[in-house]
Amino acid sequence: MGAVGGAPETLERFGRQMRIFPVAVSVGAMAGAWARQENAPAGATVVVDHEVSALGRIGREWKVAPERTLAFATVLRPPLTPEMADACWLVASLGVMGGCASVAGAVCSARWPDEVDDAESGDPVAVTKVEIQLGPGQVKAAVASVRVDLDQVGVSGAGETDRLLEAILTATDEAAASLAGGPEQVAEDYERHCALVGRRVKLRLLPSGEARGTVKGIDRGGGLELASATGMVQRVSVDMLRDLVVV
């Protein structure tokens, strides 16, 4: 439980620093403040039982009930340049897919950039959101927020939820550690699990416009590569995307 009226209590769990709040604005807000103001170390994690404002990428609302949601945010300290920072989105999804597979045997696929789906039904299992804090010429910290629909994963009870959390965090650590050799490995791993590869998609872009094509792959900077029938390749970064439909 979080301390009331003082500094939040920091626990040692799963080999990392952790803060647990019964209620908070959002996991990302709490972990972001911890990273920014108290220099939270890599792996530091915030778990919130009930988020007041559970918003994902570009303000998309998470609609699963709090009691059926595992919501947490973990601090990454990736050795990345700002251009490669979007690779953190891939890390977050790889963590979810790895954790769900090891605990619940759930086979998941990634729907770039922020969704993890049941590989068979295509139903959303989890969403991620990554907020990047930049330092001079490099990423200072990245806060990866994750919200998992426990019903979709088939997990119930505090014990199983704890095991799922530990498994996702462990898988996230492994993916983040592989960034030390550059983001290529993470991009390759993600691409293997990305259900969009080879599909024809239409993207609405921010602030306006659209892009269409067949998903060619995921680049090392975490962006989506679209190819047209005549071979024109277009790269779309996470912050350019409003929404995406498979056609």
Partner 1 sequence: MSDGSAPEEVAKTFVDAVAWGEHHTVWDLLSSEGRETVLRVGATRGMDKELALRLRDGAAATAEREEFLADLVRGLRADLAGNDLDNLEAERLEDGDPVPEAGQVTVMLVSPLPPVLAQPGLPVAEVKMRDEQGQWRVDRLLPRTSKPK
81 counts as binding partner 1 under rule CB under 8 A: no
209 counts as binding partner 1 under rule CB under 8 A: yes
105 counts as binding partner 1 under rule CB under 8 A: no
Cross-strand partners of 238:
none
User: Which of 31, 226, 241, 244 contacts partner 1 by CB under 8 A?
Assistant: 226
Q: How far is the CB of 19 from partner 1 (least distance, A)?
A: 42
**Alpha carbon distance 246, 142 (integer Å):** 29
232 counts as binding partner 1 under rule CB under 8 A: yes
SS3 category, 237? coil
User: Quick one: tokens of 209?
Assistant: 């416009």
Contact between residue 224 and residue 215 where contact means Cβ atoms under 8 Å apart: yes
- Give Cα 85 distance to the centre of its chain: 13
Nearer Cβ to partner 1 (135/207): 207
Binding mask 178-207 for partner 1 (x = CB under 8 A): -----------------------------x
The upper half-sphere exposure of residue 239, i.e. CA atoms within 13 Å in the direction of its Cβ, equals 11
67 counts as binding partner 1 under rule CB under 8 A: no
User: Quick one: tokens of 147?
Assistant: 């919200």
234 counts as binding partner 1 under rule CB under 8 A: yes
User: Which of 106, 197, 211, 241 contacts partner 1 by CB under 8 A?
Assistant: 211
Q: How far is the CB of 212 from partner 1 (least distance, A)?
A: 5
List of residues 6+ apart from 183 with CB closer than 8 A = 80, 84, 87, 90, 220, 221, 222
Q: How far is the CB of 244 from partner 1 (least distance, A)?
A: 15
Compute the CA torsion angle 242, 243, 244, 247 (nearest 10 deg): -120
39 counts as binding partner 1 under rule CB under 8 A: no
**Alpha carbon distance 93, 99 (integer Å):** 10
Q: How far is the CB of 207 from partner 1 (least distance, A)?
A: 8
Cross-strand partners of 246:
201
Q: How far is the CB of 199 from partner 1 (least distance, A)?
A: 14
Binding site residues, partner 1, CB under 8 A:
207-213, 226, 228-232, 234
